[in-house]
């Protein structure tokens, strides 16, 4: 474990240099890892583990689209692909990667296979932190660990195939075997993490729920929609409004931020743009600060978790979500976006 200085605060991190894949393979050489669920994280984590040489099987409901997807991805029924309970029985490490709501419903079937010495692995602090709402209370004689990739399972797989890695946080909630820490770090390296930073289950779920509702997904759509509306109300065309709101950000400016930070992106824009951005970022911060404070309070009170449990436990939750995504897709802004994307020269090759 290395100590790294993050803007003046020293934190524990683990990198592939100090914990190479060979060490991870050695630590887990006698383990059977069952990845339960084959939605978004399931494929990314299980395929990365398999390609890295670990002993991994998949547990998924038969007669489901994702069972068929697992078969298409090369998992073999009866050999490396099983019904959820059968996979849990065979496993020494159960990676619980069902949706957070489904984890509640399926918990009794998983719990009965959590015999002494096994490890229960999550990719989110949700189930265990909000145990009063989820009912997920692991037995005391198993390790309870977490690797939470900080991004989509789709990116986890794509970056792995490019020889890169998505960063993940890690935590140990329960160390029953004395091996929980080496198990979790080895799994973090195994699923393809770029580096691992330390957290707790509670800190992970609070920050993750805030981030995805905030700047990563919710706030960004909100601020896009507000600017697009103002431009349209003032007579700008959809293509101009979309380009000035979204396309330039994703195609030109955010890659520069990702590469070298905000000041570097600013420095690569005109002095006119720099003057305006440096003047306006603080009013935007001040306007949104109360919303972020309210959001964090809702997360900490458990209200966001409860809302997610209630809506995503309904039988028709997928149809409802798809309907809301359709509304977003069919809004003028994102329809303009579809046309803009179709005009990117690389799409016409």
Ligand X SMILES: NC(=O)c1ccc[n+]([C@@H]2O[C@H](COP(=O)([O-])OP(=O)(O)OC[C@H]3O[C@@H](n4cnc5c(N)ncnc54)[C@H](O)[C@@H]3O)[C@@H](O)[C@H]2O)c1
Residue 67 or 122 with smaller CB distance to Mg ion: 122
Joined together, the tokens standing for residue 189 give 């390296």
- Interaction between residue 208 and Mg ion (CB under 5 A): yes
By CB under 6 A, what part of segment 142-161 binds ligand X? 148-149, 152-153
* Token pair 């590469």 in the structure block, residue: 259
Q: Annotated catalytic residue: which of 50, 113, 124, 183?
A: 124
CA dist 4 and 63 (Å) reads 47
Q: Which stretch binds ligand X (CB under 6 A): 85-93, 94-102, 177-185, 240-248?
A: 94-102
Q: Which member of 15, 32, 66, 268 binds ligand X (CB under 6 A)?
A: 66
212 annotated binding-site participant = yes
By the rule CB under 6 A, 33 interacts with ligand X: no
- DSSP code per residue over 16-81: TTTS-HHHHHHHTTT--EEEE--SSHHHHHHHHHHHTT--EEEE--SSSHHHHHHHHTT--BTTTE
Cβ neighbours of 246 (radius 10 Å): 21
Q: For residue 238, what is the DSSP state?
A: H
Of 235, 224, 233, 219, the C-alpha closest to 291 is: 219
Is residue 25 a contact partner of residue 19, using CB atoms and an 8 Å limit? Answer: no
* Residue selected from 39, 53, 211, 218 as contacting ligand X according to rule CB under 6 A: 39
Distance CA 279, CA 284 (A): 10
Q: Name which of residues 196 to 225 contact ligand XAI (CB under 6 A).
A: 208, 212, 216
Active site residue 236: no
Q: Which is nearer to ligand X, 148 or 309 (CB)?
A: 148
In the bound state with ligand XAI, the residue whose beta carbon lies nearer, of 152 and 306, is 152
Q: How far apart are CA 190 and CA 145, in angstroms?
A: 14
Does position 41 interact with ligand X (CB under 6 A)? The reply is: yes
Distance CA 315, CA 319 (A): 9
Number of residues that bind ligand X (CB under 6 A): 24
Q: What tokens were used for 216? A: 């990563």
Decide if residue 64 touches ligand X (CB under 6 A): yes
**48 forms part of the interface with ligand X (CB under 6 A):** no
Establish if 95 lies at the interface with ligand X (CB under 6 A). Answer: no
Give the chain's radius of gyration (CA, Å): 22
Residue 340 burial by Cβ neighbours in a 10 Å radius (0-12, 13-18, 19+): middle
The residue (of 44 and 337) whose beta carbon lies closer to ligand X is 44
Residues found in the chain: 349
Residue sitting closest to ligand X (CB): 39
What letter does residue 151 receive in the DSSP assignment?
S
151 binds ligand XAI (CB under 6 A): yes
- Residue 113 in contact with ligand X, rule: CB under 6 A: no
Using rule CB under 5 A, residue 100 touches Mg ion: no
Q: Which of residues 191 and 336 has its CB atom nearest to ligand X in the complex?
A: 191
Among the listed residues 124, 157, 183, 232, the single contact to ligand X using CB under 6 A: 124
Q: Which of 166, 342, 229 lies closest to 221, judged by CA?
A: 229
Q: Tell me which residues are annotated as active site.
A: 124
- Which residue ranges make up the annotated binding site for substrate? 270
**Applying CB under 6 A, which residues contact ligand XAI?**
151-152, 208, 212, 216
- Which residue ranges make up the annotated binding site for Mg(2+)? 208, 212, 244, 248
**Applying CB under 6 A, which residues contact ligand X?**
37-42, 60-61, 64, 66, 97-100, 102, 105-106, 123-124, 126, 148-149, 152-153
**Applying CB under 5 A, which residues contact Mg ion?**
208, 212
């Amino acid at each position: 474990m290395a100590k790294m200085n993050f803007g003046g605060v020293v934190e524990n991190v683990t990198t592939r240099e100090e914990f190479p894949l060979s060490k991870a393979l050695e630590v887990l050489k006698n383990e059977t890892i069952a990845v339960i669920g084959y939605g978004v994280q399931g494929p990314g984590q299980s395929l990365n583990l398999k390609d890295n040489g670990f002993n991994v099987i998949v547990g998924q409901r038969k007669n489901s689209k994702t069972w068929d997807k697992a078969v298409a991805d090369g998992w073999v029924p009866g050999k490396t692909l099983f019904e959820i309970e059968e996979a849990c029985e065979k496993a020494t490490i159960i990676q619980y990667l069902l949706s957070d709501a489904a984890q509640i419903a399926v918990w009794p079937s998983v719990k009965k296979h959590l015999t002494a010495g096994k490890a229960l692995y999550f990719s989110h602090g949700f189930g265990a932190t909000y145990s009063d709402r989820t009912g997920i209370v692991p037995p005391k004689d198993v390790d309870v660990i977490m690797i939470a990739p900080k991004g989509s399972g789709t990116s986890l797989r794509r970056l792995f195939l490019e020889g890169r890695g998505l960063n993940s946080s890690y935590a140990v909630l329960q160390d029953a075997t004395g091996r929980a820490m080496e198990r979790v770090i080895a799994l973090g390296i195994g699923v393809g993490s770029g580096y691992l930073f330390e957290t707790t289950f509670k800190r992970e779920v609070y920050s993750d729920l805030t981030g995805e509702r905030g700047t990563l997904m919710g706030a960004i759509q909100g601020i896009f929609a507000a600017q697009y509306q103002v431009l349209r109300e003032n007579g700008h065309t959809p293509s101009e409004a979309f380009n000035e709101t979204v396309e330039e950000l994703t195609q030109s400016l955010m890659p520069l931020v990702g590469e070298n930070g905000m000041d570097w992106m600013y420095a690569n824009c005109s002095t006119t743009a720099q003057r305006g951005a440096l003047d306006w970022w603080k009013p935007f911060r001040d306007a949104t600060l109360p919303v972020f404070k309210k959001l964090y309070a809702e997360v900490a009170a458990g209200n966001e978790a409860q809302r997610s449990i209630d809506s995503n436990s309904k039988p028709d939750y997928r149809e409802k979500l798809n309907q809301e995504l359709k509304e977003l897709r069919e809004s003028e802004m994102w329809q303009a976006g579809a046309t803009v994307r179709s005009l990117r020269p690389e799409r016409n090759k």
